Amino acid sequence: MSQSQETLSNLLQETRRFAPPAELAETANVTAEAYEEANADRLGFWARQADRLTWSKRWDTVLDWSNPPFAKWFVGGELNVAYNCVDRHVEAGLGDRVAYHWEGEPGDTRTITYAELQREVSKAANALLELGVRKGDRVAIYLPMIPELPISMLACARIGATHSVVFGGFSADALRTRINDAQAKVVITADGGFRRGKPSALKAIVDEALKDDSTPSVERVVVVRRTGEQIAENPRDVWWHDLVDRQSDQHTPEAFDAEHPLYILYTSGTTGKPKGILHTAGGYLTQVAYTHYAVFDLKPETDVYWCSADIGWVTGHSYIVYGPLANGATSVIYEGTPDTPHKGRWWEIIQKYKVTIFYTAPTAIRTFMKWGDDIPAQFDLSSLRVLGSVGEPINPEAYVWYRQHIGGGRCPVVDTWWQTETGAIMISPLPGVTAAKPGAAMRPLPGVVADVVDDQAQSVPNGGGGFLVLKEPWPAMLRTIWGDDERYVKTYWSRFDGLYFAGDGAKRDEDGDIWLLGRVDDVMLVSGHNISTTEVESALVSHPKVAEAAVVGSTDPVTGQAIVAFVIPRGSAGEEVEGEGFVAELRDHVAKTLGPIAKPRQIMIVPELPKTRSGKIMRRLLRDVAENRSLGDVTTLTDSSVMDLIRAKLPSAKPED
């Protein structure tokens, strides 16, 4: 099927379906039977997935849910996460298999086999022990995308220390808040990393975060030399190469309880201080390993897998580090940005390493659409066989573009819905089973019980919309918010009695398939109709000249809220997009696609959209622009000059009605 130019009808009337390729369906790791198996005995199903790991002591009880919403999975079981991710593959004779093909932004590379990873992780574990880190202590990790990042995480897991990775793009204030909340004893950082062709400092930010004794828990700072730039040295600092290189590469892992805290990862959320999402060892590793095997159909002997996320986000924790390594996969890690030194860098990496499975985000896909089809066309992407998407709803048009221009029309695209809190993928097609619809996350995975409910927690019928909830505990679920059980209960389990509310709106179509509609705060109320920003954005992106769109509700005296859209034209659209005619064409296009009620009051043609560092559109800022307010906090923006660019465009974007 090649229909990327076909105009969409309403999302719910989306008729395109992409069946699994015959060969994949025949050889898939997971077949349709898995759903039946899990329905018949959910806990038995998860116990069988846990059995794919190596346990030092088997569990007595699969799930203890006697004190909801505080779950205990694989009660009484003991395992070592790092052993499962590294040593057991070496013991199985796979020491020479590549764990990571690492590619630095400047073009330097490093290939790390499982045997080497075992030695590196053992040395780092011995180093942490020398610094006095013990089971249960917290270690903050603030590193660029270099091998020392997964090595540090695994070293913590190996000795039972709980890591808290802070994304390298965060400010000193954000780092300090997270260090203090977790009471980290050690910070692991680097002099800097490479981004957009230049060294970008990290150690200076750590110094700022730690200054004037503002982080009393921190005893030592370990510094990796990456860029070679000058750094200020402090008595508490120690170079990684001075400390780690001289350690023994032998370390015997100890088994920890299945519920031992593996890591804390902070999500910022819209209000209040960041929430430290706590994940524990056994259930988390079980579900990330299973989902990585099932959703990507991973064949560890032959696949080369690449997830383009930063390890500083949960996607990187679960699907660059823990899931792939638990499965013995060969992965690619890339340090830098997709446009350095040229806009084909990612496709060049896929060509170079013959990547077979690729996992990225809609925001990246839309950027590539904007840059133009001719860029990926210059590279050999024929090794690819499965493509994944995560982070936001994927607009059907972006899905079809991804399938066509990256997947050559032959690779299934799996749209995977999950959250930092869920720890692992929850709703997604299975590439060998599902005839996927572009833009739909489709069905809960085997062993996951999700539903779309109304205000009263009643399941909505097919064709209805409401709130996405999870009805049964799952192995990789967050166990609490670090240090704040009450906030955990209040944030996730109080909106609907006994149900986990994810914060997302969703629809179930006539076939019963699930479409995510974005955060519920992003639903607009226009003349009494609920309209999701995602639907209008997808309608706009289905126009052949539109690369990306963001939609917000702006207060309107007549309709309550009115729809305001910000649109980035496609690279190939050229001059035609400047005039009034183009805006009128787009408004008509939305009216035709979704109905006249969804016609935007105003459309602004802009060069960029404001995004968080994890790639989510900051609608709050756009709402401020739409309502002519002064801008709120822009500190989490990737690039605050974007808002100036949008402001500069304002005069040409006058209301249409």
Name the residues that contact ligand WT7, by CB under 6 A.
267, 314-315, 390-393, 415-420, 441, 502-504, 516, 519, 614
Q: Report CA 54 to chain centroid distance, whole Å.
A: 27
Which residue carries 């980035």 as its tokens? 568
Closest contact distance (angstroms) between CB of 405 and ligand WT7 is 20
CA–CA gap between residue 650 and residue 607 (Å, rounded): 12
Closest contact distance (angstroms) between CB of 429 and ligand WT7 is 11
Closest CA relative to residue 345, chosen from 226, 202, 195: 195
Structural contact between residues 609 and 623, judged by C-beta atoms closer than 8 angstroms: no
Closest contact distance (angstroms) between CB of 473 and ligand WT7 is 18
Q: Is 420 part of any known ligand binding site?
A: yes
Q: Which is nearer to ligand WT7, 285 or 442 (CB)?
A: 442
Q: Is 198 part of any known ligand binding site?
A: yes
Q: Is 541 part of any known ligand binding site?
A: yes
Q: Which is nearer to ligand WT7, 117 or 265 (CB)?
A: 265
Q: Is 374 part of any known ligand binding site?
A: no
What is the DSSP code string of 18-86? BPPPHHHHHH-SS-THHHHHHHH-HHHHHHHHHTTS--SB--SEEEEEEETTEEEEEET-EE-HHIIII
CA–CA gap between residue 64 and residue 49 (Å, rounded): 17
In our burial notation (b when 16+ CB lie closer than 10 A, e otherwise), range 320-332 reads bbbbbbbbbbbbb
Closest contact distance (angstroms) between CB of 168 and ligand WT7 is 16
Q: Which is nearer to ligand WT7, 104 or 391 (CB)?
A: 391
> Phi and psi for 519 in degrees, rounded to 5?
-60, 145
User: Cis link prior to 216 (omega < 30° from 0)?
Assistant: no
Closest contact distance (angstroms) between CB of 519 and ligand WT7 is 5
Handedness of CA 116, 119, 122, 123 (dihedral sign): negative
Closest contact distance (angstroms) between CB of 522 and ligand WT7 is 9
Q: Is 458 part of any known ligand binding site?
A: no
Closest contact distance (angstroms) between CB of 549 and ligand WT7 is 16
Structural contact between residues 355 and 346, judged by C-beta atoms closer than 8 angstroms: no
Question: Quick one: tokens of 597?
Answer: 């009620």
Closest contact distance (angstroms) between CB of 381 and ligand WT7 is 22
Q: Which amino acid is at 650?
A: L
Residue 468 forms beta bridges with which residues?
452
CA–CA gap between residue 404 and residue 34 (Å, rounded): 29
Question: At 397, which helix (H) or strand (E)?
Answer: helix 396-401
Binding site for CoA: residue ranges?
A: 195-198, 315, 527
Binding site: residue ranges?
A: 195-198, 315, 391-393, 415-420, 504, 519, 527, 541, 543, 546
